[in-house]
Amino acid sequence: MQGTAQTVMNAANPDAKLADFNIKKMIGRGTFGKVYIVEHSVDKQLYAMKCIRKDLVLENQQIENINLEKNILHSNNHPFLVRMEYVFQNDFRIYFIMQFVKGGELFKHLVQVKRFTEEQAKFFAAQVALGLSQLHSQKILYRDLKPENVLVGEDGYLMLADFGLAKLVQEGEIANSFCGTAEYLAPEMLIGNGHDHTVDWWALGILVYEMIVGIPPFFHRNKHKMYHFIKESKVNFPDPERHKISVSSSAQDLILKLLDKNKATRLGKDGVDEILAHPWFATLNKEKLLAK
């Protein structure tokens, strides 16, 4: 898509401007700018404000990506995806005003407890799967699943955030760009032979393993070795005696089917219901979960 950063603003909310918000503190920085907690000066509601520098967006030819991110945030109304409340701009920056999710990153909670119980992991994994499925239903690949991009609400439910690497693909289309976080990359991303929505199900397998075991399955400090393990090695589970970590046989089976190196046979190729029908999720009530 050609054009300028102005294009991003087609669905801007004309009722909001920067002066309406008081900045509380900076909570993060991304490739194209910073993220702040802000308070609306009238209703005192807290939001997360993402400030995106237009010069960097243009320099990196990211207009299409920022536009897609805006559209995802602006149009979605799903319990497990972060939503945008306002979007506006000035000469130098675009501002995304999003729900502020109080519990912070799932990563922070995982670090604190080292590992989740399988019941907790199941509760979290199902929400992530349903959030991903919502994106897939709109032909969007998420491509950046990791505990840092999963936020925990005050109510204990999760939301996927940060759609900066998302990509819109048409029916039967294969994506080819190399992106994501090292530990979560799928083999097809590393080999470079194209990827589709199943790349997100691979990442879900990594996430489930990390939540239960406390470390991603192919982790190695040397990135080249880690990439080799992702492409070539089988998944190893900790020894319950030696490591004092036990992973149930049904959890192991689910993880192995999600971490199928062949995307054509990977669990989830036919959609989320295939994943949630796995015995590990037998106790799950999808409707109740969606209704929180």
Which of 15, 43, 144, 273 is an active site residue? Answer: 144
Distance CA 231, CA 112 (A): 30
Task: Please name which of 214, 84, 86 lies closest in space to residue 161, comparing C-alpha atoms.
Answer: 84
R_g of the chain, CA atoms, integer Å: 19
Residue 239 among the catalytic residues: no
Length of the chain equals 292
Tell me if 278 sits within 8 A of 250, measured CB to CB: yes
Beta-ladder partners of 175: 195
- Residue 105: how many CB atoms within 10 A of its CB? 18
Tell me if 133 sits within 8 A of 126, measured CB to CB: no
Q: Where do we find the tokens 């900790």?
A: 238
Task: Please name which of 148, 64, 138, 153 lies closest in space to residue 101, comparing C-alpha atoms.
Answer: 153
- Cα dist. 55→2, 61, 62, 248 in Å? 15, 10, 10, 50
The DSSP symbol for 202 reads H
* Catalytic positions: 144
